[in-house]
Amino acid sequence: MIKKEKHVHGVFTEIVGTPKEISSYDLFLNSGPKEGSIDLQRYTDLYKDIVTKWKTQFETVALIEEVILQIRAKENIKEIKLSLVKDEYIYARSPFYRRGSSTKDIRVIVGKTDIDGDDLNILSKDVEFMERAKRKITIAMEKIISSNRNTLTKLLK
């Protein structure tokens, strides 16, 4: 069974697609034969008309869903993984959904190896260091959530 990380999967966020991904409904429409019976064409046109009318609502609900997923992630930061980048920077990452992003996490620079050391095992057990990591992750999450909330406010006016 495939493990799905909490707070990174939605319903409408998966349906509407992104600027890089085709929406599920467009994929469905494009997957059928170009020619077909009158019945097939009639139902395909009906489907396309309804989806076109509802597209804005789908996208709005997807944005609301994205904000919900992001707030859930921010309020439930439990899993923070550390990694080194270029043997110089210490990165912290935690699950976080962003539509259109290829990663299902958020990453922030928490420190430098010349100051904090490079033993991730020791750093992951250092309460003070991990609190700093959590604080920086939370701040980065809040910036993205705030931006999405502003977009949502404009959409709902």
Q: Where are the domains of the chain?
A: 12-75, 81-144
**Model pTM score:** 0.84
Percent of the chain with pLDDT strictly greater than 70? 95
Give the largest Cα separation in the chain, rounded: 71
Q: Sheet containing 89-95: which strands, arranged edge to edge?
A: 81-85, 89-95, 105-112
pLDDT of residue 5: 54
pLDDT digits (tens, 9 = 90+) for 116-149: 999 999 999 999 999 999 999 999 999 999 999 9
pLDDT tops 70 at residue 6: no
Tell whether the model's pLDDT for residue 46 goes beyond 80: yes
Query: Is 4's pLDDT higher than 70?
Result: no
Residue 150, phi then psi, degrees to nearest 5: -65, -45
Report how far residue 97's alpha carbon sits from residue 102's, in angstroms, rounded to the nearest whole number: 10
